[in-house]
Structure 1
């Protein structure tokens, strides 16, 4: 007998989206729409288990409209007897007592989902026909030191017919793992599990480690321009005692994001040059970033009107932003080098200027302060 599992993570529901201005709520809806597609897929295909690997919410205080939307999604899954199991990640785990409980705990209290909020491996067992599925979950622990391995020293239960581990951490060896953060080492991956699933890395990836298939489903919507070339979606799995029998990646309609690298070339209006480049990429569904590169004179720079570009692009793209960090201005006026002085010389100059503005009564006090300051600097070896 096979067990059907739907795997997702990093849904990031209810992001701030303040940078999108009047389209803020439409951008928030993008994230809901992608999750809604996953739920509709689940209702149609009826998996035994839905696994959600952390960062379900983008923060620990999602708005009430989003909470209500999520409750409406979880209820029909529960009514179809789909077991929904969640752990929390970097965004939806409280980092202090003052921040209270994870918003996932509210949904768990409804009885519609199972939230494994423990920050150590914790198991839940489910029976599907003749098979016992043991799901071990571990939510993120934000208090671990940067060099910690959250699985170090823990025994992982494998007393089910099918054993699954669910968490939210970077794992050594995957794209997006940089090493300078809390992470799970390859050697800590339990041997011969049927599935080890994790959230945190937004790009869908799979590797075999210690005889265990390790999967990141990736995020369901693009969160940043780092993800503009990545496919977004969720994973359908069929498992038996031997491991993964079948695996399918199902894409979601994530909003397109693109970076336009614009390099200044020749004379003429910079604004008009950029408008001509934008005309070739018009798409009112797209989020576009324009990175402007090159060296310009002050006269050329005066032809760069960002406000005019925003006006030009407002109905041609969903959103546009400009990055001018690599735009350098040439100056025809040579910069004069400053005279070389020592700290004590600068101190003397400062106190001399101060004495010129000081009255007779305060002059002895300023002179004494000057003397003590010089002595202190000399004690510290400052010349």
Structure 2
């Protein structure tokens, strides 16, 4: 048996989280600060921001064995088969070196028909990685992107110290469940994580499933987060929820961008419109689950709006794309670091024909990889709107206040 060293779980070991809540058992990473969480009690938002997409433990050690005690929260949907356990990815010196899961944990029961949530407590579980190389190295443990994960204890068979800052530009991204990583294979295989690896940037992922709704508190969180490169992907959740009409949408986009610019006045900022989603291209929301499909072990969504309602200002993806293009063009006259990307350049009609959306809304693992590769090529490549600051045509690093 190895002689274990227990290391306190502190903010210095974590990347990708904006807040760390101390709990009775350990610490819970959050992707929105406490002030933002206090301004909205929506269960979907609070669940999404506590799921640590892009959050990872990073440390230096000679350890050959690592144990991490966690208290996960598993989701169970009424009428649906059990979901697989959340995946943890291990990287050693930036290279994939293992993958694991943690059984047990709390259970969150969700009834999509009634929109209700019910939670039940469960036990702490342990993640183990062994056989790591016996040398000084950087170890990263990427937490499950879609499973709330309370960190309880970190044990290693050699001392641990925080890894030095990587020196890569920080990319701050906000989007919907697609950016969050819905249906991705693992936390390093979400499209933002893949794009960040290909682009050589450090990811802070504010993809919030069901909650990219132009909320002012999210804009303020982005305003106050240090970043060298920023992107916001806007649209699909506003249609999903049927939250606002065109009259409210345009000022809300301006306000969201204005707030980000208060903290990042010259940082490259890319506005990304929605990926192709045929059910909502010309049909407004809300999106509704096919509850009959749940009983058969499959989840699909349908558009519950009426195309005729566009005349009353209801939003569709086509309407949103046109308006975002217009807004960015208007603002770019005074903001040369503001850019626009049509989401269909990341996933369009040809991609849908080859890699259809399994549930009507979310891309599968193969599509995540394609989107990540395309985003890296379109945004991070030399001359792209988010080409890192140390590349030609860019000034030095920028940060929030």
Q: TM-score when scaled to structure 2?
A: 0.27
